[in-house]
Structure 1
Amino acid sequence: MTEPRDAARAAIHKVLNNNVVITHDASGTERVVMGRGLGFQVRPGDDLDPARIEKTFILDPGPDGDRARQVLTDVPYAVVEAVTEAVDGAERDLGRQLGRHVVVAVIDHVSFVLSRLERGVRIPATAMPQLRVLHPAEFGAAERMARTLADRLDTSLPPEEAVFLTMHLLNATRDEPGGTAALLFRRVQHVVDTVETGLGVTLDPGTPDYARFILHVQFLLQRLVDRTMLASGDTSFFEFARHSYPRAHAIAEDVKAYVAAATGSELTDEEMLYVTVHVERLRSRVAPGESDDRVIG
């Protein structure tokens, strides 16, 4: 995330604003050094006052570093302080360091949210109850982050901010490149949307059947990534489910089509069996009596 305040002892290379300056370390790596009034009435070549250094960000070379520098220059320092406090709290909650990129990403996000709120613009967002089931630790930390941000910035944030902050935490806590954790979650959400559309209902995220289904879908999609899909030479259970639960099987076929389009991988009959079983279990709860309620497993 950030470095200790005494890590940036160096001469000022460039003043970005009253609170932000640029330095170079001995290896030539560029650092953004922040502190209230740190850049006030100083010039390039002046020594930094270590007592006033509050945060140090090491920038990546290239466009990512340019973008981070711009964010840290443009955003009010009160937002930077609030976000770093919120991220520090999330690190304590999760028991791990989140890395230096998540701070800049959340600063950028919160600044955008505040700008929208000032203009009276609110972008609708789903509550995504799957997140609370799949990632309770990250979701809880994100809720506390949202409360910290609202308190420190003396504003009311939309409830869905916990969802967006959870996504940032997932990308920071999963050791995967390119936002793989968030991509996996979006695919889980799409599968749930497909099932809800097929059943014509909104599923209750508070039920055990919902939790079991969400976890199964997550594991299924992870098996696709790991190339460890379930497979069996015995298709009798699959054929039984296909004929006994035609509606659930049809929805499972829709899920299969989505997964193929999204990942390029075809679900095996064994995977389809379990999707059908879980969908039938959900269907039998929301529309009891419509068809045979026998469920495998």
Structure 2
Amino acid sequence: MTFRLVQVLNNNVGLACKEDDSQVVIMGKGLTFQKKKGDIIKASAVQKVFKLHEESPSDLTSLLATIPLDFLTVSYSLIDEAQEKYDYSVEPYIYASLTTHLYESAKRLADGRLVETYLPDLQKDYPLPYEIAGYVLDGFATRLNIKFPKQEQKSVALHFLNARTDIHTQNQAQRRKVDKNKQILAIVENELNNHKIYRNRDNANDYERLLVHLKYFINRINQKPAPQVLSAAIFQEVVKDYPRTFAIVQKINDQIKQKMGLEFTNDEQVYLTIHIQRLIRKEETNDKHNEK
């Protein structure tokens, strides 16, 4: 078996065509060094192959620029395995969004900082996604010796909840046509700035996580009816615990509805509230530090 190189992503990774013309990502130490488009690569030289999950080559290049290859491949493999093991289908964007989230969490752990979560307990109401999250985290502990704190399981479970899809009813063509990212992102950033929440060196990781997750939420925002996965009790708990942050989310939601005729679901409002609350908490911590 051979692969025909379509694009070099870095010295170790390339986009290639199999003999049946399907595209895959091939990996191996020095695999694509000094190679060019159209070169033939033997299967014996390839250490890892995985299929594209609707990522464009530019998306993969962006991920590979910030996330180590071993981390990326372990994350992708665990998501694939989890879907098969638990018969749980997820939308393709989870590969990028969850991998980015976990890598940022892993960096915080390496720096000696606990990864704080503002999520309610999900184990009772959503046992299957919670169990899947445990499988993914166990996989990182076994394969990369990264032992995430137990609370991280709630965040991973939410990713799987939000990304779950019915492959029989999902209209992939319609979803790919949604091209409103820039306008929605501009509304969000403008409203954050109105509340004196700016991207800076201290909150860069949290701010980037918000934008990355928001990008993939946008893929779902105009689906009707949008699937609801979080209970009303969790929604009310978030509203009660973070009233200031939820008020910001409501202003964002009102602008998107007025300007674009779209509206966040309750689930998406919960996710956005959690991300913005993390930014607010960071600002409050920095303000207290500066007062000392």
TM-score of the pair, normalised by structure 1: 0.51
Give 1:69 deviation, angstroms. 3.2
Give 1:99 deviation, angstroms. 4.9
Aligned residues: 190
Could you tell me which residue of structure 1 aligns to residue 71 of structure 2? 79
Could you tell me which residue of structure 1 aligns to residue 220 of structure 2? 178
Q: Given the alignment of the two structures, is residue 169 of structure 1 paired with residue 164 of structure 2, yes or no?
A: no
Give 1:47 deviation, angstroms. 0.8
**Contact 1:138–1:166 (CA<8 Å) still a contact in 2?**
yes
Q: List structure 1 segments (4+ residues) > 6 angstroms apart after TM superposition.
A: 25-30, 261-264
Could you tell me which residue of structure 1 aligns to residue 106 of structure 2? 114
Could you tell me which residue of structure 2 aligns to residue 155 of structure 1? 146
* Structure 1 stretches lacking a partner, 5+ long: 1-5, 198-260, 265-297
- AA at the equivalent of 2:230: F
- AA at the equivalent of 2:5: I
| Pairing 1:55-134 to 2, within 5 Å after superposition | 55-58=49-52, 60=54, 66-126=58-118, 128-129=120-121, 131-134=122-125
Question: Taking structure 1 as reference, are residues 174 and 15 closer, same or farther at Cα in structure 2, changes over 3 Å only?
Answer: closer
* Structure 2 stretches lacking a partner, 5+ long: 171-218, 243-262, 267-292
Could you tell me which residue of structure 2 aligns to residue 252 of structure 1? none
**Contact 2:117–2:155 (CA<8 Å) still a contact in 1?**
no
Aligned residues with identical type, % of pairs: 19
SS in structure 1 at match of 2:140: helix
Q: 1:190 aligns with which of 227, 230, 235?
A: 235
Could you tell me which residue of structure 2 aligns to residue 287 of structure 1? none
Could you tell me which residue of structure 2 aligns to residue 17 of structure 1? 10
CA offset digits 1:39-69 (Å, max 9, x no partner): 24534332122231522343647xx663343
**Contact 1:29–1:58 (CA<8 Å) still a contact in 2?**
no
Q: Separation in 2 of the partners of 1:99 and 1:178?
A: 10
| Pairing 1:270-289 to 2, within 5 Å after superposition | none
Give 1:32 deviation, angstroms. 3.4
- AA at the equivalent of 2:159: H
- AA at the equivalent of 1:147: D
TM-score of the pair, normalised by structure 2: 0.52
- AA at the equivalent of 1:192: E
**Contact 1:12–1:44 (CA<8 Å) still a contact in 2?**
yes
Q: Given the alignment of the two structures, is residue 47 of structure 1 paired with residue 40 of structure 2, yes or no?
A: yes
